[in-house]
Amino acid sequence: MKKIEIELNERSYPIHLGTMECLEHAGAVLVVTNPKVGGLYLSYVLGRIRAREVFVCTIPDGEAYKTLESVEMILESAFNHRLDRKSLMIALGGGVIGDMVGFASGIFQRGIGFVQIPTTLLSQVDASVGGKTGVNNAFGKNLIGLFHQPKAVYIDPLFLKSLPPREFGAGVAEIVKMAVTFDREFFEELERGDLRDHSFLLEGIERCVKIKARVVAMDEREQGIRAALNYGHTFGHVIEHESGYGHYLHGEAVGMGMVMANTLACGLGLLKESEAERIEKLLARYGIPTRYTIGDVERFYDLFFLDKKSENQKIKFILPEGIGGVAFRDDLSKSMVLSVLEAFCD
């Protein structure tokens, strides 16, 4: 098992890569999962936990259940099992479970520890690392939440064997995001290799985790460079909100969002058309949808303002600057943005 340390002073923690080893905890543990992941891997994980008591809480599956109601279910389970401030929550699942357990553990008795055991590619390469936690509500995506770092992350490739191809593609979208924004050489390797090849995939996961750990260590609370990891998300969150959570997978919405961001970047001279085509081609190779049809550009534009990245009524766009670089722009006129959105109308 490999170990990558994320350096955050007293909040530093290890990210373990490889077959999961024993997880020991002196107090009580609450493992939170959903019926699908629990059915597949709960006994595998329970067999690797050594703790005073171990309880299990199962919540409904899906982005549509990434709500305060589900967090309340987790908290009720914690109270029913008499968890205390020395107890630990464990998130066993994809990014939805991870974000909610992170949030629930961050507010239970003003905050207890939690561990991430990510089971989707997307959560292994991105969501499980960095301490962003939260839920969606009627106003938009991830608008309620906390920064709360886990105590450890266990990334076991075994889980990926049962992942449906669409979910795999959603994870690849986040891998492409990391390469485009931070690592040109990695992007070129992705163009040459195939992430469906197991050893290439493992290298890709490690590469992303290292990028993410470095970026989070530099800017834990997203005051600057961490925002680059939101490339594709400004558009993607609107796509998810407009189409109804669960219609597109989060990674798919990010994939389509990256293509929109690229169109904007090309218009500003930050990205060449040929580079935008290479990014779209790489996404399409993994079956990731790259074109979203906008029905009403004014409505789409208004939804940008619900995003956490918009500040003082200015939309902050995260745009690729060539491949391997990133630019932040909050000075674009509405007409400029609408002209890009119109390119995505029927």
Residues known to be catalytic = 110, 132, 174, 212, 222, 226, 230, 233, 237, 250
Task: Give rounded-to-5 percent helix, strand, coil for the chain.
Answer: 50, 20, 30
Pairing state between β 23-33 and 88-93? parallel
Candidate ranges 113-121, 137-145, 223-231, 312-320; the one touching ligand GLY (CB under 6 A): 223-231
Member of 29, 34, 58, 252 binding ligand NAD (CB under 6 A): 34
* Residue nearest ligand NAD, Cβ-based: 95
Q: Using the rule CB under 6 A, is 251 a contact of ligand GLY?
A: no
Return d(Cα 159, Cα 149) in angstroms, integer: 22
Q: Using the rule CB under 6 A, is 201 a contact of ligand NAD?
A: no
Look up residue 314 and give its DSSP letter. Answer: B
Nearest Cα to 177, choosing from 122, 223, 99, 111?
A: 122
Member of 38, 94, 255, 257 binding ligand NAD (CB under 6 A): 94
Nearest Cα to 62, choosing from 34, 40, 31?
A: 34
Return d(Cα 222, Cα 147) in angstroms, integer: 10
Q: Using the rule CB under 6 A, is 36 a contact of ligand NAD?
A: yes
In angstroms, what CA-CA distances link 288 with 36, 243, 254? 23, 16, 10
Q: Using the rule CB under 6 A, is 250 a contact of ligand GLY?
A: no
Residues between 141 and 170 with contacts to ligand NAD, criterion CB under 6 A: 142, 159, 162-163, 167, 170
Judged by CB under 6 A, the number of residues near ligand GLY is 6
Amino acid making up residue 104: A
- Per partner kind, with CB cut-offs from 5 to 8 A, the member of ligand NAD, ligand GLY, none near residue 226 is ligand GLY
The b/e string for 23-58 (b: 16+ C-beta within 10 A; e otherwise) is: bebeebbbbbbbeebbeebbeebeeebebeebbbbb
Nearer to ligand NAD, 244 or 272 (CB): 244
Candidate ranges 104-112, 124-132, 193-201, 328-336; the one touching ligand GLY (CB under 6 A): 124-132
Element (H, E) at 130: none
Q: Using the rule CB under 6 A, is 263 a contact of ligand NAD?
A: no
Return d(Cα 161, Cα 4) in angstroms, integer: 23
State the binding string over 33-72 for ligand GLY (x if CB under 6 A, else -). ----------------------------------------
Q: How many CB atoms lie within 10 A of CB 298?
A: 10
Which residues in this chain contact ligand NAD in the complex, by CB under 6 A?
34, 36-37, 40, 61-63, 66, 93-97, 99, 119-120, 122-123, 126-127, 130, 132, 142, 159, 162-163, 167, 170, 249-251
Which residues in this chain contact ligand GLY in the complex, by CB under 6 A?
126, 130, 132, 226, 229-230
